[in-house]
Chain A
Amino acid sequence: MSVIEMRGLRKDFTVRVRAGRLRRTKRVVAAVDGIDLAIERGEMVGYIGPNGAGKSTTLKMLTGVLTPSSGTVSVCGLAPVPQRTRLALRIGVVFGQRSQLWWDLPLRESFTLLRHIYRVPAADHAARLRRCVGLLDLGDFLDTPVRQLSLGQRMRGELTAALLHGPSVLFLDEPTIGLDVVSKQAVRSFLAELGAGGDLTLVLTTHDLADIERLCRRLVVIDHGRVVHDGTIEALHARYGSRRRLVVDLDAPLPPGFAVPGATLVSTEADGHRVSFDLVADTAGPVVAELAALSSLRDLSLVEPDIEDVVARLYAS
C-alpha cells in the first residue's frame, strides 16, 4: 500500500466578497480541486505550483491540520484529521514560516521538550540528535535561545525538530524560503542524505526549483488546485518539448541550407560563425561530427534545458 494516498481530494473555502456598500456575497473557491495521487515509501516528491495553487492546502490536509471538503486521504494508513495525534507520531512537519521551537529557550531545550511530547526513548533521541548535529552542524548554537538564531540556523533547528521522533514521512513546506545560498546547500545536502537511506518518504513544496532538481526524482506540478504534471523532470521536459541546446562556434560560416538529422537549427549569429541547434536525438555526437566535417570547431557547449522556463510555460498555459 502507498504511504500517501489522495483520491478526489478537495478543499473549498468560502470567501466573502464585498458587493456594494453593505452587502457581501459568498463565493466558494476550490483551493484544491480533486487531486488523485499516490506516493510510495521512500519516494522524494517535489510539489510545486505558483502562489495560491493549493500546495500548502494539500500539505495541511495530509498532516491533519485542515479537514478536506470531500475526497479521501490517507497517510501511513491513517486518516489525518480523525487520527491526528496518532499520525503526528509518524510524520515530521516543517512549515517554513511556522516554528515548532520555543522562541525563548535554547535550541537544545526545545529538542528535550519535543522528546517528551513525542515520548521518544532517551537513547533513540540522543542518537538521532547526534546525527542531526553532525550533519547540520548545529554544535555552535545548540545553547543559543531560538530568538537569537539566524534564519538559516533556525531552519536547521526546525529540520532537526521534525526528525527527532524518527518519522516515516517528512513534509516540508518551503524549507529553503529566505535562506542564503550556503544554508540552502546545507539543507539540500542534508535532505539528500536522509533520502539516500530509502526508508523516509519526503514531500516538499518549494518555489526554488533547484531544490527539486537536486532532490526529487518525481515532480508534481499543481495549478488552480489540480495536478497538471506528475512524473520525472525529464518527462516534463519531453512533454513540453524542451530540448538540450548545442551551441557551436565555427571557423568557417555555416553554408545556407545546412541540415543535419537529429537536430534542428534554431539560430545563426555572427555571420554564421555561431550556430545553435536543438537536439532531438539523445546524443550530440553525430551532429558534432557533421559540423566538424564542414569546418573546424572553435568552441562548443551543450546547454541543459532550464526547468524554470518549462515551469513558467506550464503556469502560463
Chain B
Amino acid sequence: MAELRAYAALMGGQWRSVASYRASFVLELITNLGGTGLDVVAVLVLFRATPTVAGFALPEAMLVVSLSSCAFALADFVVGNIDRLKTYVRAGTMDAVLVRPLGALAQLVLMDLPMRKALRLVLGVVVLGVALRLNHIDWTPPRVALLVVAPLAGAVFFGAIFVLSASLAFWWVDSGDIGSAFTYGGRDFTAYPTPVYSGWFRAVFAYGLGFGFVAYQPALTLLGRADPLGMPAWAGFVSPLVALVAAGAAAIVWRTGVRHYRSTGS
C-alpha cells in the first residue's frame, strides 16, 4: 500500500514537471493528435480502392484496426517511453533509479508518463465504438468479456514488446531503432487481418511472435467468423494467455538486462 503511494508520488512529480511548461504541453498534445488515427485512415483509403481485402469487408477490417489501435495506444501511453532506455543508460539516469527503493521499470515508466499520448487512447476507443456499430455482432456473455479483455491483453502484449525491445539497450547501447521494427512494425502488422500477409513472414509474426492474437483472432471470435487460416473459433480467447507469455518473457529479459547493466564512467 505504502509502495503504491510511492509510485503515485512519482507520477505526481512527473505531472507537475510537465505542467511547469504549460504552453509546450498543450502544443505537444495537439501535434500528437495529428499523427493519431493514421492507421485507421490507411484502412479507409485501402477500402476505397477495393471492396474486400483477403475476404474481409470494411466493417470487419475496421474492427481489427480499432482493436489493434486501442491496444497499442494503451501500451504506448503506459510503457511506450521505455524506448528511451538507451538515453537513460547513456546519461546515467539509470544509476539514480537503481538506488531508490522501488522497481526500476515502474520508476522509469512513471517518471516519463506521456500525458500527451492519452488522447490517442480516447480516439482508439471511439473508433472501436464505431466499428462495433458497423458490424452485426451476436452478443453473448463470453463475447462481451472478450471485448473488454482483448484490448487489455493486446496492451499487455505490446507493453511486453516495448520492454523487450528497449532491453536491448542493456547489452547494446547503440541499439538504435531495431526495437521499433517490433513495436511500431508490430502495430502495423496487427492493423490488418492476418490473411493479408503470406508465407514465412505471416507464420513468424502472427503465430511465432503472437501478433495474430492481438486484434485479428479476437475480432474473428467477436464476429463469429471462421478463420480462413484454419485456427479454431475459440482462438480469440487465447489472447490473454499469449499476452501473459509475452509479459513473462519480457520480465525475464528485463531482469537479466538490469543485471547486465554496465553503467557509465564516473
Residue among A86, A103, A105, A112 with the most chain B CB within 10 A? A105
A227 CB–B CB distance under 8 Å = no
- Which chain B residue shows the least CB distance to A60? B263
Please, which residues of chain A bring their CB within 8 A of the CB of B20? 104-105, 145
Q: From A88-96, A188-196, A246-254, give the one contacting chain B.
A: A88-96
Q: How many Å lie between the Cα of A85 and that of B3 in the bound state?
A: 11
Please, which residues of chain A bring their CB within 8 A of the CB of B262? 13, 66
A97 CB–B CB distance under 8 Å = yes
Least Cβ–Cβ distance between A122 and chain B, in angstroms: 12
A175 CB–B CB distance under 8 Å = no
Q: Are A66 and B17 in contact (CB under 8 A)?
A: no
A63 CB–B CB distance under 8 Å = yes
Q: Are A117 and B102 in contact (CB under 8 A)?
A: yes
A99 CB–B CB distance under 8 Å = yes
Please, which residues of chain B bring their CB within 8 A of the CB of A56? 263, 265-266
Least Cβ–Cβ distance between A62 and chain B, in angstroms: 10
Contact residues, A23-65 vs B (CB, 8 A): 52, 56-57, 60, 63-65
Residue among A99, A119, A174 with the most chain B CB within 10 A? A119
B199 CB–A CB distance under 8 Å = no
Q: How many Å lie between the Cα of A85 and that of B103 in the bound state?
A: 7
Q: Are A104 and B21 in contact (CB under 8 A)?
A: yes
B115 CB–A CB distance under 8 Å = no
Q: Are A113 and B99 in contact (CB under 8 A)?
A: no
Q: From B8-16, B207-215, B220-228, give the one contacting chain A.
A: B8-16
Q: Are A64 and B99 in contact (CB under 8 A)?
A: yes
Please, which residues of chain A bring their CB within 8 A of the CB of B263? 56-57, 60, 65-66
Least Cβ–Cβ distance between A158 and chain B, in angstroms: 10
Residue among A67, A105, A116, A173 with the most chain B CB within 10 A? A116
User: Which listed residue, B6, B99, B259, B260, touches A93 by the CB 8 Å rule?
Assistant: B99
The interface bits of chain B over 233-266 (1 if a CB of A lies within 8 angstroms of the residue's CB, else 0) are 0000000000000000000000000011111011
- Which chain B residue shows the least CB distance to A84? B98
Contact A91 B99, CB 8 Å, known A13-B262, A65-B261, A174-B266: yes
Q: How many Å lie between the Cα of A273 and that of B260 in the bound state?
A: 65
Q: Are A117 and B99 in contact (CB under 8 A)?
A: no
User: Which listed residue, B10, B93, B103, touches A113 by the CB 8 Å rule?
Assistant: B10
Q: Are B99 and A88 in contact (CB under 8 A)?
A: yes
Contact residues, A113-156 vs B (CB, 8 A): 113, 116-119, 145
B95 CB–A CB distance under 8 Å = yes
Q: Are B5 and A116 in contact (CB under 8 A)?
A: yes
Chain A residues with a Cβ under 8 A of chain B: 13, 52, 56-57, 60, 63-67, 81, 84-86, 88-89, 91, 93, 95-100, 102-105, 109-110, 112-113, 116-119, 145, 173-174
Q: How many Å lie between the Cα of A75 and that of B20 in the bound state?
A: 39
Extra contacts besides A67-B259, A112-B9 (16): CB < 8 Å: A65-B94, A65-B95, A65-B98, A65-B99, A65-B263, A66-B262, A66-B263, A84-B98, A86-B101, A95-B266, A98-B93, A100-B100, A105-B17, A118-B101, A119-B3, A174-B266
- Which chain A residue shows the least CB distance to B97? A65
- Which chain A residue shows the least CB distance to B101? A88
User: Which listed residue, A98, A116, A173, touches B6 by the CB 8 Å rule?
Assistant: A116
Q: How large is the interface on B (under 10, 10 to 19, 20 to 34, 35 or more residues)?
A: 20 to 34
Contact residues, B158-200 vs A (CB, 8 A): none
Please, which residues of chain B bring their CB within 8 A of the CB of A89? 101
Q: List 12 A-B contacts (CB under 8 A).
A: A56-B266, A60-B263, A65-B95, A102-B17, A103-B17, A104-B17, A105-B13, A105-B17, A105-B20, A113-B13, A119-B6, A119-B101
Contact residues, B18-34 vs A (CB, 8 A): 20-21
6 A-B pairs closest in CB distance: A116-B9, A88-B101, A104-B17, A93-B99, A119-B2, A65-B98
Q: Are B266 and A97 in contact (CB under 8 A)?
A: yes
Q: Are A98 and B96 in contact (CB under 8 A)?
A: yes
User: Which listed residue, A66, A99, A113, A116, touches B96 by the CB 8 Å rule?
Assistant: A99
Least Cβ–Cβ distance between B22 and chain A, in angstroms: 12
User: Which listed residue, A60, A81, A112, touches B259 by the CB 8 Å rule?
Assistant: A81
- Which chain B residue shows the least CB distance to A99? B96
User: Which listed residue, A52, A91, A113, touches B9 by the CB 8 Å rule?
Assistant: A113
Least Cβ–Cβ distance between A277 and chain B, in angstroms: 42
Contact A117 B266, CB 8 Å, known A103-B17, A104-B17, A145-B20: no
Least Cβ–Cβ distance between A85 and chain B, in angstroms: 5
Please, which residues of chain B bring their CB within 8 A of the CB of A81? 259
Please, which residues of chain B bring their CB within 8 A of the CB of A91? 99
Least Cβ–Cβ distance between A198 and chain B, in angstroms: 24
- Which chain A residue shows the least CB distance to B92? A98
Q: How many Å lie between the Cα of A228 and that of B222 in the bound state?
A: 71
Least Cβ–Cβ distance between A117 and chain B, in angstroms: 5
Residue among A52, A99, A117 with the most chain B CB within 10 A? A117
- Which chain A residue shows the least CB distance to B93? A98
Least Cβ–Cβ distance between A42 and chain B, in angstroms: 22
Q: How many Å lie between the Cα of A64 and that of B93 in the bound state?
A: 14
